[in-house]
Amino acid sequence: MPDQQTRPLPVLRWTTRPSATVVYCLPYAGGVGRIFQPWASNAPSGIEIRSFVLPGRQERLGDPMYTTASNLADDVAAAVLDDSQGRPFAFFGHSMGALIAFETARALRRRGGPQPVVLSVSGREAPQAKDKRPPISHLPDGEFASVMVDYGGMPRDVLNNQDLLDMVLPALRADFALCEKYEYTEEQPLDCPLLVFSGADDPMVEAEGVRGWSDQTTKRSLVQTCAGDHFFLWQHQATILDTISRVVAARVR
């Protein structure tokens, strides 16, 4: 099914810091932009956290979901250009969000637009890495939900709540399908620093694939490994925000 978006991506703003660099955050598969609201409250003064209302969840539950990473990245790029109003900005994306953040930076470059002062990616191997995991988006609901539990993205109790499954599985399935059909296209490396965060015990990510991110920038690439599984970012919120803030401060003077 082709993407049929009917309106621009709404931007979520929780704080107002006119002199700060905006960090646009993109969630993992099935995630909502509001998961980053606590980050907005706890972010260092030099950065301001914003995110997006993606279709197929919460107040956009009935809207058609994206089926390709390129279309989603194009719409994120358009939203960033409109929202940033010439201010410096950065990206942070976790898992699927890392892929979309990367493709958004490339979409902006193709438009001749500004580049992020830093691209921060988390919980995902480099886009050129071959995905060794079998596709799962086609699995029946019960099997698909069980895999989500194994990945740590869903409490086991949800398996017994059909109403909740009916609400969350469509977005999860669509996002996994989007990632599974993604095909990397080679372009010139980005001209911005890359921060790469990974979980030491993440079952979805291999160290070799994480190191591959360094090929995607002409600038410095820093890999930071944190204790935890695929969702380590919640345990290490302060570390991630502080690292992004320091690199942003060095780039925006």
Catalytic residues: 95
Contact call for residues 123 and 199 (beta carbons, < 8 A)? yes
**Both structure tokens of 171:** 């977005």
What are the φ and ψ backbone dihedral angles of 5, each rounded to 5 degrees? Answer: -75, 135
Q: Hunting for tokens 């989007």 — which residue is that?
A: 178
Residue appearing with tokens 């079952």: 203
Q: Which two tokens stand for residue 108?
A: 């902006």
- Beta strand 11-13 with 47-52: parallel, antiparallel or unpaired? antiparallel
- 92 is written with which tokens? 């942070």
Place of tokens 């905006």: 22
- Among 185, 206, 223, smallest CA distance to 125 is for 206
Cα separation, 87 vs 106, in Å, equals: 18
What's the rounded Cα separation, in Å, for the pair 173 and 44? 35
Asked if 192 and 115 touch (Cβ cutoff 8 Å), the reply is yes
CA 157/CA 175 separation, integer angstroms: 22
Contact 20, 45 (CB under 8 A): yes
